[in-house]
Amino acid sequence: NLKMGIVGLPNVGKSTFFNTISKLNVAAENYPFCTIEPNEARVPLPDERYDWLCEAYKPVSRVPAFLEIWDIAGLVRGAHEGQGLGNAFLSNIQAVDGIYHMCRAFEDDEVIHVEGSLDPVRDLRIVADELRFKDLERAQRALADAQARLARAGQQAPKELRLEDETLQKVIEILEKEEKAIRHHNWNNAEIEILNRHLFLTAKPVVYLVNLSERDYLRKKNKWLLAIKEYAGEDPVIPFSAALEAHLVDLELNDGREAMENYRSQQGIHSALPKIIRGGYQALNLINFFTVGADEVRSWTIRRGTLAPQAAGTIHTDFERGFICAEVMHYDDLREAGSESALKAAGKYRQQGKTYEVQDGDILLIKFNV
């Protein structure tokens, strides 16, 4: 399972946000064999396609897709040197596949700032630098190791080892001289294969979450936003308000969804949660396919590029082992045709084999041998 981790300096709103999304955890009865850890949240993916399918099939049971999000406790300056449990934090970041990097852009004299003043770009740099320093240490160790092996091999050194040596030197150059994250460099396939073996922290996709005051969030204005977007470059930036999201979720849990929606529309409030969850999904390169029927409508999560047998395997390992074919209709075609029979009449119901790459929004029926 691919997962996002929430990372940021202390007191930026990580726990507030994590506690809020934890209250939305998908119903555990759908996942009888997986326990949820205290620092893990499974947040249903907001998806109007899934909502529509549930409405159309009116199934007995419905299971949405979810995004797995981990809370990674506060990172501080000097973490890579072991400051304030630094190494434990960094190894937790190691275990996630993408990062929600949260910063604080709300003023509140009651909430202490670890760096003494409000400056989100400086804060983002502090955390990014810690990750970069950690990668640099790791790359230097790996390079020393590769060079020792090169020296032992002498003239017989395989091409693979030379390429590893060159790639690691390039990694060090990018981290140290250019002060860049590994994800911000264009690597070729051979290099990517080597990078994948080292699990560098700055290679992971990042989504920036900017915690604003309710007021700034609602008026869509904050004096730091432009600088943050400039700093983020191509990485997505999502402004939100942790306090506001907490309020909305509590309202929903206490007074019901309808009461919350009423309040939201009266006040003209848009929750940023759907955007945040979809942003994490995109960062991890995840897509959905669906299975539908009178008994169950379910949304499944796979990585973009997954072939039909492996997609079938996420439903059940037998489906992958005995895979014969998949009968496929696309959500958009179903929506347009209005019904399965109209879709079939339009010739949009297709049989796909083992080499079919499942597309976002496919509805699958797997045929398999037992």
**At closest approach, how far in Å is the CB of 132 from ligand GDP?**
21
Q: Distance (Å, rounded) from C-alpha 363 to C-alpha 292?
A: 7
- Pick the closer one to ligand GDP by CB: 106 or 349: 106
Q: Which of 14, 80, 138, 298 binds ligand GDP (CB under 6 A)?
A: 14
Task: Decide if residue 213 touches ligand GDP (CB under 6 A).
Answer: yes
Cα-based distances in Å from 132 to 55, 61, 78, 183, 199: 47, 46, 12, 11, 13
Number of residues engaging ligand GDP in binding (CB under 6 A): 17
d(CA 64, CA 85): 36
250 contacts ligand GDP (rule: CB under 6 A): no
DSSP secondary structure letter of residue 184: G
Of the candidates 5, 44, 64, 74, which one interacts with ligand GDP according to CB under 6 A?
Answer: 74
Q: How far apart are the C-alpha atoms of 50 and 46, rounded to whole Å?
A: 8
Cβ proximity of 210 and 222 under 8 Å: yes
CA 200 to chain centre: 16
Q: How far is the CB of 351 from ligand GDP (least distance, A)?
A: 51
Residue 12 binds ligand GDP, judged by CB under 6 A? yes
Which lies closer to ligand GDP via its Cβ, residue 168 or residue 269? Answer: 269
Instruction: Tell me: does residue 175 bind ligand GDP (CB under 6 A).
Output: no
Contact letters (x/-) for ligand GDP, 214-243, by CB under 6 A?
A: ---------------------------xxx
The stretch near ligand GDP (CB under 6 A) out of 9-17, 51-59, 92-100, 193-201 is: 9-17
- The count of C-alpha atoms lying within 13 angstroms of the C-alpha of 279, restricted to the half-sphere facing its C-beta, is 20
278-337 binders of ligand GDP (CB under 6 A): none
C-alpha–C-alpha distance, residues 293 and 334, integer Å: 14
- CB of 327 closer than 8 Å to CB of 286: no
Phi then psi dihedrals of residue 266, to 5 deg:
-60, -45
Q: Does 94 bind ligand GDP (CB under 6 A)?
A: no
Distance (Å, rounded) from C-alpha 291 to C-alpha 315?
9
What is the distance of C-alpha 306 from the center of its chain? 17
Binding mask 99-138 for ligand GDP (x = CB under 6 A): -------x-x--x---------------------------
Among 11, 39, 140, 271, binds ligand GDP (CB under 6 A): 11
Q: Which residues bind ligand GDP (CB under 6 A)?
A: 8, 10-16, 74, 106, 108, 111, 211, 213, 241-243
